[in-house]
Amino acid sequence: MYKGEDRVLEALSKKKSASLGELAKETGMNEDSIRRIIESLRAAGYAETQTTESVIGKPTPELERYGASVFPEVAVFRKALKGVTLPGLSPEEKSIGLRWARVKGFVNVESGKLVPAKDAADVDKESAALAACYAELMASGASVDAVRVEEFFERRLLEKKTSRSITVRYTGKKLPATAMGGFDVSVPSADAPAGKNHPITKITNRMKTIMSELGFEEMEGGIVESSFWNFDALFQPQDHPARELADTFYLKGDAPLPGDKALVERVKKAHEDGWKYPWDPKEASRAVLRTHTTALSARYVASIRDKRPRKYFAIGRVFRNEATDYKHLAEFHQVEGIIVWEGAKFTDLLGILKEFYRKLGFEKIRFRPSFFPYTEPSLEIEVYFEKRKQWMELGGAGIFRPEVSLPLAGVYPVLAWGLSLERPLMLNMGIEDIRTPYRNDVDFLKSARVQI
- Asked whether residue 2 carries a pLDDT value surpassing 60, the answer given is no
CATH code given to domain 202-447: 3.30.930.10
Mean pLDDT, range 40-56, rounded to an integer: 78
Nearest of 234, 241, 244, 435 to residue 331 by alpha carbon: 435
Task: Judge contact between 210 and 359, C-beta under 8 A.
Answer: yes
Mean pLDDT lowest for which of 288-292, 372-376, 430-434?
Answer: 430-434
Model confidence pLDDT, tens digit, residues 116-138? 999 999 999 999 999 999 998 88
CATH code given to domain 61-156: 1.10.10
- Asked whether residue 28 carries a pLDDT value surpassing 90, the answer given is no
Mean pLDDT lowest for which of 274-283, 309-318, 330-339, 425-434?
Answer: 425-434
Measured from the Cβ of residue 117, the count of other Cβ atoms closer than 10 Å reads 16
Mean pLDDT, range 312-323, rounded to an integer: 91
For 433, residues 6+ apart whose C-beta sits below 8 A from its C-beta are 326, 426
The residue extents of the domains of the chain are: 3-54+163-192, 61-156, 202-447
- Asked whether residue 343 carries a pLDDT value surpassing 70, the answer given is yes
What share of the chain in percent tops pLDDT 70? 93
For residues 268 and 148, what is the distance between their CA atoms, to the nearest angstrom?
48
Res. 185 pLDDT band, cuts 50 70 90: very low
Cis peptide before 258 (omega within 30 of 0): no
Burial label, 143 (beta-carbon count in 10 A; 0-12, 13-18, 19+): buried
Specify the higher pLDDT residue, 211 or 36: 211
- Asked whether residue 322 carries a pLDDT value surpassing 90, the answer given is no
Model confidence pLDDT, tens digit, residues 205-258? 999 999 999 999 999 999 999 999 999 999 999 988 878 766 899 999 899 999
In this prediction, residue 178 carries a pLDDT of 43
Specify the higher pLDDT residue, 422 or 452: 422
Sign of CA dihedral 404, 408, 411, 414: negative
Task: Check for a shared fold between 3-54+163-192 and 202-447.
Answer: no
Model confidence pLDDT, tens digit, residues 69-78? 999 999 999 9
Tell me the CATH number of domain 3-54+163-192, given options 1.20.120.140, 1.10.1060.10, 1.10.10.10, 3.30.479.30.
Answer: 1.10.10.10
Mean pLDDT lowest for which of 97-101, 174-178, 217-221?
Answer: 174-178
